[in-house]
Structure 1
């Protein structure tokens, strides 16, 4: 059984997962900032 829909590029499947992972990264970044008391940039040595 083959699936003829593309899962790469600008498809709705790819965009949905991109949005979900971006939201997850944002929440993890905020949680890390709250737990350490340092901004994300200062943790990376940029600020």
Structure 2
């Protein structure tokens, strides 16, 4: 038996400027990607991010 399709198409809001749910969600996802990338760099190179960048 198949599920009935929704009769109403969801209305997505256009992204806005400033503090809103869309901007906060996007910022959170970017922070998570950056954190994981930092962990991978530290694991692969065996040194901290600042040392790897030559800043410390």
Structure 1 residue runs of 4 or more that deviate by more than 4 Å after TM superposition: 3-6
Give unpaired runs (5+ residues) of structure 2.
1-11
TM score, norm. by length of structure 1: 0.79
Structure whose CA Rg is larger: 2
1:24 lines up with 2:39 in the alignment: no
Q: Which has the higher contact order (CA 8 A, sep 6+)?
A: 1
Question: Residue in 2 aligned with 1:44?
Answer: 53
CA drift of 1:4 comes to 6.7
TM score, norm. by length of structure 2: 0.68
- CA root-mean-square deviation: 1.8
Between the two proteins, the alignment pairs up a number of residues equal to 45
Task: Compare the two structures and name the one with the higher helix fraction.
Answer: 1
Give unpaired runs (5+ residues) of structure 1.
none
